[in-house]
Amino acid sequence: MPATSRLAPAKINLTLHVTGQRADGYHLLDSLVVFTEAGDRVALDGGGPGLRLSGPQAAALDGEGDNLVLRAARLIGAGDAGLALDKRLPVASGMGGGSSDAAAALHLLAETRDLSLPDTAALMTLGADLPVCMAAPAPSRMRGLGEQVAPVGGVPALWLVLVNPGQGLSTPAVFKALSHKQNPPMPVELPRWPDPAALCDWLAGQRNDLQAPAQALVPAVGQVLAGLSAQPGCLLARMTGSGATCFGIFRDQPTATAAETALARPGWFTAVTRSSASVS
């Protein structure tokens, strides 16, 4: 039987290289992306047309009106489908929450209503993160504006601590604050990593080019990164997306759990989670 709900996993940019800016203002990216067991959940709802919200982060979406999930439902031809969203990821947090929610809705509606999934061009009308979120939970490389998505092999599962300081960041504002927009991409051929330590050694030579401008706009990002880096067992700390969520990669679950306990603050979002590995 088709599933009646679907996880909308958090999207984590292990790298995010800004490689250029087009004449129309859109930025070109090169990013290694993984998805986690933590996320929102989208479900079919029998309460009539529209979207019903619940969950600890639902209040941030109250009054939003034309939610991305509803736009996705219309895009696939499901009209004002009856859907429910259990919102657990903070909004405007760099984890692709809205795009992941929309991708989960598209998969769920396609499966249960025998509808065809939109092509990449149509997905991009909903947002640059939609194509990569449609590929979840597989680790992927996203390039261009986000429309070029390819699976990446040899990515191990990772124990992650996610920390958001309770402050949203505007993606356009972060890009506007980025002073250098022509930066090197990742290598054309990516290596295969036998374990998290090897991956983190490689990641240390890569970047999130939006981290510095985000930290300038929200200094708490630096506080979070310093806190993560100081925890025992932390192999790497970095910001994801345009922030303000940061992640620490930890050597095992016990050190990750201890780190989350140490970093918990009133008003902060924290979570221990695990990312999906490559299938090959």
- The mean pLDDT of 109-134, rounded to a whole number, is 96
Residue 1 has pLDDT above 70, yes or no: no
In the block, residue with structure tokens 């529209």: 50
- Contact indicator for 205, 226 with CB cutoff of 8 Å: no
pLDDT of residue 222: 97
pLDDT of residue 158: 98
Q: In terms of residues, how long is the chain?
A: 280
Residue 213 has pLDDT above 60, yes or no: yes
Q: What is the mean pLDDT of the chain?
A: 95
Residues linked to residue 103 through DSSP beta bridges, in sequence order = none
Residue 44 has pLDDT above 80, yes or no: yes
Return the active site residues: 11, 129
Residue 276 has pLDDT above 80, yes or no: yes
pLDDT of residue 64: 60
Write the CA distances from 262 to 131, 255, 265, integer angstroms: 36, 10, 9
Confidence label for 233 from pLDDT (cuts 50, 70 and 90): very high
Q: What share of the chain is helix, strand, coil (3-state, %, to 5)?
A: 30, 30, 45
- The mean pLDDT of 163-174, rounded to a whole number, is 93
- Contact indicator for 98, 130 with CB cutoff of 8 Å: no
pLDDT of residue 2: 65
Write the CA distances from 91 to 4, 60, 97, 179, integer angstroms: 24, 7, 7, 25
- How many CA within 13 A on the CB side of residue 274? 10
Q: What is the pTM of this model?
A: 0.96
Residue 239 has pLDDT above 60, yes or no: yes
What is the distance between the alpha carbons of residues 199 and 163, in angstroms, rounded to a whole number?
Answer: 21
pLDDT of residue 221: 97
pLDDT in tens, 52-95: 999 999 998 876 667 899 999 999 999 878 999 999 999 989 99
pLDDT in tens, 180-202: 999 999 999 999 999 999 999 99
Which domains are assigned to the chain? 5-151 (3.30.230.10), 159-274 (3.30.70.890)
